[in-house]
Chain A
Amino acid sequence: GENVEQHPSTLSVQEGDSAVIKCTYSDSASNYFPWYKQELGKGPQLIIDIRSNVGEKKDQRIAVTLNKTAKHFSLHITETQPEDSAVYFCAARTGTASKLTFGTGTRLQVTL
Chain B
Amino acid sequence: EAGVAQSPRYKIIEKRQSVAFWCNPISGHATLYWYQQILGQGPKLLIQFQNNGVVDDSQLPKDRFSAERLKGVDSTLKIQPAKLEDSAVYLCASSLVKAAPLHFGNGTRLTVT
Residues of A within 8 A of B (CB): 4, 6, 32, 34, 36, 41-46, 49, 89, 91, 96-100, 102-105
- Complex Cα–Cα for A99 and B42 (A): 13
- Smallest Cβ distance from A78 to chain B, in angstroms? 23
**Contact A104/B106 with A43-B91, A96-B98 known, Cβ cut-off 8 Å:** no
- State whether A46 and B103 are in contact (beta carbons under 8 Å apart), knowing that A89-B42, A99-B45, A105-B41 are contacts in the complex: yes
For window 68-113 of chain B, which residues contact chain A by CB distance below 8 Å? 91, 93, 98-99, 101-107
A residues in contact with B43, CB < 8 Å: 44, 89, 102
Are B107 and A43 in touch, CB under 8 angstroms? yes
B4, CB-defined interface residue at 8 Å: yes
Q: Which of B42, B48, B106 is the one whose CB lies under 8 Å from A43?
A: B106
Closest A residue to B42 by beta carbon equals: A102
Judging by beta carbons under 8 Å apart, are B102 and A100 in contact?
yes
B14 in contact (CB, < 8 A): no
B106 close to A97 (CB less than 8 A): no
- Say whether B48 contacts A99, CB under 8 Å: yes
Q: Is the CB of A99 within 8 A of B105?
A: no
Could you say which residues of chain B place their CB within 8 Å of the CB of A34? Answer: 101-102
**5 A-B interface contacts by CB (under 8 A):** A6-B42, A89-B43, A99-B45, A104-B41, A105-B40
Pick from A44, A49, A98, A105 the residue with the most CB of B within 10 Å.
Answer: A44
Contact across chains for A46 and B102 when beta carbons are under 8 A apart? yes
With the chains together, A104 CA to B38 CA distance in Å?
A: 10
Residue of B nearest to A105 (CB): B42
Contacts of B107 in A (CB 8 A): 42-43
Question: Is there a chain A Cβ closer than 8 Å to B44's Cβ?
Answer: yes
